């Protein structure tokens, strides 16, 4: 298990999905379930933080009515993401 600072979004989401699957299938003991749930909460925060960082770095260039280029921030999509799917557990 990597430290929080070392995990990228893809690694965190994969670990979160693995935990969610184990919890859903009841493959682990109660104590392990509690620890897994706590880890899941940490991973959810990592994923949320990484997405916020990415959103703040991404800008879209578009043309203004006068033909000049303007920068616009990326808006959140309404499409259900991988993170939305596992958020239901955490």
Mark residue 32 as left, alpha or beta (left: phi above 0; alpha: psi -120 to 50; beta: remaining): alpha
Q: Where are the domains of the chain?
A: 4-87
Which fold is adopted by the domain 4-87?
Answer: Helix Hairpins (1.10.287)
User: Whole-angstrom Cα distance, residue 10 to residue 38?
Assistant: 19
- In angstroms, the Cα distances linking 35 to 30, 74, 78, 80, 87 are 9, 35, 31, 27, 17
| 23, 89 Cβ separation under 8 angstroms | yes
Q: Structure pTM? A: 0.63
pLDDT of residue 67: 74
* Token pair for 18: 């693995």
Task: Report the chain's mean pLDDT, rounded to a whole number.
Answer: 81
pLDDT of residue 78: 44
């Amino acid at each position: 298990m990597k430290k929080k600072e070392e995990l990228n979004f893809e690694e965190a989401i994969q670990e979160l999905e693995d935990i969610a699957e184990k919890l859903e299938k009841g493959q682990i003991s109660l104590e392990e379930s509690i620890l897994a749930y706590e880890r899941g909460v940490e991973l959810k925060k990592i994923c949320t933080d990484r997405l916020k960082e990415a959103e703040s770095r991404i800008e879209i260039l578009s043309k203004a009515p006068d033909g000049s280029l303007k920068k616009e921030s990326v808006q959140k999509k309404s499409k259900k993401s991988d993170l939305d799917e596992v958020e239901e557990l955490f």
